[in-house]
Homo-oligomer: A and B are copies of this chain.
Amino acid sequence: MELNATSYVILGMLGFRPMCGYDIKQLVDKSTRFFWAASYGQIYPELRRLSDAGLIKGQADSDTARGRIEFELTPEGRRRLEDWLGDPPEIQEMRDESMLKVFFSGTAGNGGPRAALEAKRDHHSEVAARLRGIEESAKAADASGGPVTALRLGIAFNEFVADWCDKEAASA
Interface residues of A (CB under 8 A from B): 5, 8-9, 12, 15-16, 31-32, 34-37, 78, 81-82, 84-86, 88-90, 92-110, 112-113, 115-117, 119-120, 122-123, 145-147, 149-150, 152-154, 156-157, 160-161, 164-165, 168, 172
Cβ-defined contact, A115 with B102, below 8 A:
no
**B89 engages A119 (CB within 8 Å):** yes
Residues of B within 8 A of A157 (CB): 157, 160-161, 164
**Selected contact of A102 from candidates B109, B146, B172, CB within 8 Å:** B146
Listed residue (A34, A78, A108, A122) with the most chain B CB atoms within 10 angstroms of its CB? A108
Contacts of A105 in B (CB 8 A): 85, 145-146, 149
**B-chain residues with CB within 8 Å of residue A154 when the two chains form the complex:** 99
**At the interface, is chain A mostly helix, strand, loop or mixed?**
helix
Q: How many copies does the complex hold?
A: 2
Residue numbers in B under 8 Å from A164 (CB-CB): 153, 156-157
Residues from chain B with a CB closer than 8 A to the CB of A5 are 95, 97, 100
Cβ B36 vs Cβ A102 within 8 A: no
| Residues of chain B lying within 8 A (CB to CB) of residue A150 | 99, 102-103, 113
CA distance A98 to B37 in the complex (A): 14
Min CB distance, A61 to chain B, in Å? 23
Least CB separation from A15: chain B residue: B107
